[in-house]
Amino acid sequence: MDELFSFIFAVINSALLVGYYAGFLTLRSARGLARRAVLAGFGAVYFIVQYAVYFSMSLAADGVYDPALATVISFGFLAVHMAALYFLTLAFFKKYAGMNVFLLCSFFCVQEICFRIALGLVNFSFFDGCREAAGVIQVSVYTALCLFFLKRVSKDFTYKTRAFTLTELLYLILPCGFGLAFISLISVMPYGTDGGGSLKLYAGLPFAGLIIPLAGLIFLISLIAVVRLFQKMAELNIEEKEKLVLQRQIKDLNGIYGEIKGMRHDMKNHLYNIRLLAESIPDGGTGGEELEKYMGSFEATLNKFDFTFQTGNPVTDIVLHKRYSEAVNSGINFRADFVYPARLNFDAYDIAVILDNGLENAIEACAGTDEPYVKLMSYIKKEILIIDIENNFTGHIEMSGHNNMPISGKPDKEKHGMGISNIRRCAKKYYGDIAIQISEDKGGGVFRLTVMLQGQE
């Protein structure tokens, strides 16, 4: 019977592990049915690892009656078990060192504490005369608790691709370590003696068996609280960085607009000087060469205003001209049909931030395709401005589970993921939002970003 329940626990643990890890990590190379097959293989290998550790620990602990030595053996094999799972994870999933450590510690913490809670409840209950019924109750309680708390951690941990600092990692895993150590120690702690043997804590005084379940629940709730607090701090940190990037972009656009004003002032001076030169030349006299030379200088200044796109606003003209030049220099087919909606009273800098970030992402994404293209369109429906940016791409775009936004493939995901975040921030300023459509084919596809903003006439 013990072997049967060990087998059932191993199967349950493998299924729980696969579901938990798949919600955080990305497989090295698999999608669709292949992804499911690889995940099944991951669970099967972990099932074998569990049995290998279980039988090795049984052999090592056979005939050991000293509680202290038994505790040392138990913790030793727990360390071996965790190390085996860590390297197994590296073999199947992409390397996210900090996240791997957190998943490892949190999974074993939840698993061990839920097991001790279920065992404590069964020992405290009235199943002493029926081991089968006690085992079924224990398996059911264990599975339900693990499912609930692992799903809760996965749901509350929103920034799954965020790189951890050492301090952040310690903040996350220390509650797991303390909880695991406390529950394990209190579970094997001798309470007294009965003849030649020792009694466990839950076998002593009435209601003492509830100490382990209650303590376990406290630690599991603490783990959820730590994860939520960490996510809140991470969210505030990212928002602060996004605001700094947005402020820097607006500052750059202010500088560009200042240059435009300066050029306008220069043009007025040029026109004034031309008028003076023309008046100083007598009828039929010389001086035309000097005037022609000055006209050449004036033409050079005018060329600075020779933008490919005339959107109706100098700030958005500058942005489109800059991104158009980048696209042409990279051999990208750039098409744009954008008109600035002056009557809707948007802040020109907000529209410029949306265009600048969206076009920058589109140009970078399509750079490696055979026939790269970027297409920008804008529509106005009553008081709603709709901006569409479309491009082709190579590879696969991974989407974040918590906000349905694309995850950057660059090493610094947090930094390079701010472009779309700032677009969404500008859209929400005008009671709008963004929508993303991805049509994938073999080796690539088409990405379409739609931004909707509500204006006021």
**Residue-wise DSSP of 302-354:** HHTT--S---SSHHHHHHHHHHHHHHHHTT-EEEEE----GGGT--HHHHHHH
- The reported pLDDT for the residue numbered 244 is 72
Residue in the structure block whose two tokens are 């809670």:
117
Task: Pick 308-457's CATH classification: 3.30.360.10, 3.10.310.10, 3.30.565.10, 3.40.630.30.
Answer: 3.30.565.10
Q: How far is CA 400 from the centre of its chain?
A: 5
The tokens for 444 are 């690539």
- The reported pLDDT for the residue numbered 15 is 93
Residue in the structure block whose two tokens are 């596809």:
445
> What does the alpha-carbon distance between residue 361 and residue 363 come to, in Å, rounded to a whole number?
6
Q: How far is CA 217 from the centre of its chain?
A: 29
Cβ proximity of 337 and 324 under 8 Å: no
Q: How far is CA 216 from the centre of its chain?
A: 30
| Backbone φ/ψ region at 32: left (φ over 0), alpha (ψ -120 to 50), beta | left
The tokens for 9 are 């626990």
pLDDT tens-digit profile of 225-239?
Answer: 999 998 888 877 777
- The reported pLDDT for the residue numbered 165 is 83
- The reported pLDDT for the residue numbered 415 is 47
Instruction: Tally the C-alpha atoms within 13 A of residue 89's C-alpha that lie toward its C-beta.
Output: 27
Bridge partner residues of 375 (DSSP):
335, 390
Positive or negative CA dihedral for 22, 27, 31, 35? negative
Cβ proximity of 267 and 304 under 8 Å: no
> What does the alpha-carbon distance between residue 131 and residue 123 come to, in Å, rounded to a whole number?
11
Bridge partner residues of 380 (DSSP):
385
- The reported pLDDT for the residue numbered 416 is 42
3-state secondary structure of 316: helix
pLDDT tens-digit profile of 15-31?
Answer: 999 999 988 887 876 66
- The reported pLDDT for the residue numbered 292 is 63
Domain ranges of the chain: 2-244, 308-457
Q: In what order do the strands lie in the sheet with 444-454?
A: 333-337, 373-381, 384-394, 444-454, 433-441
Q: Which residue in 113, 85, 80, 100 sits closest to 223, CA to CA?
A: 113
> What does the alpha-carbon distance between residue 318 and residue 338 come to, in Å, rounded to a whole number?
13
pLDDT < 70 stretches in the chain: 1-2, 29-33, 61-68, 70-71, 123-131, 186-209, 242-243, 245-247, 249-307, 400-404, 408-418
Cβ proximity of 367 and 330 under 8 Å: yes
- The reported pLDDT for the residue numbered 374 is 96
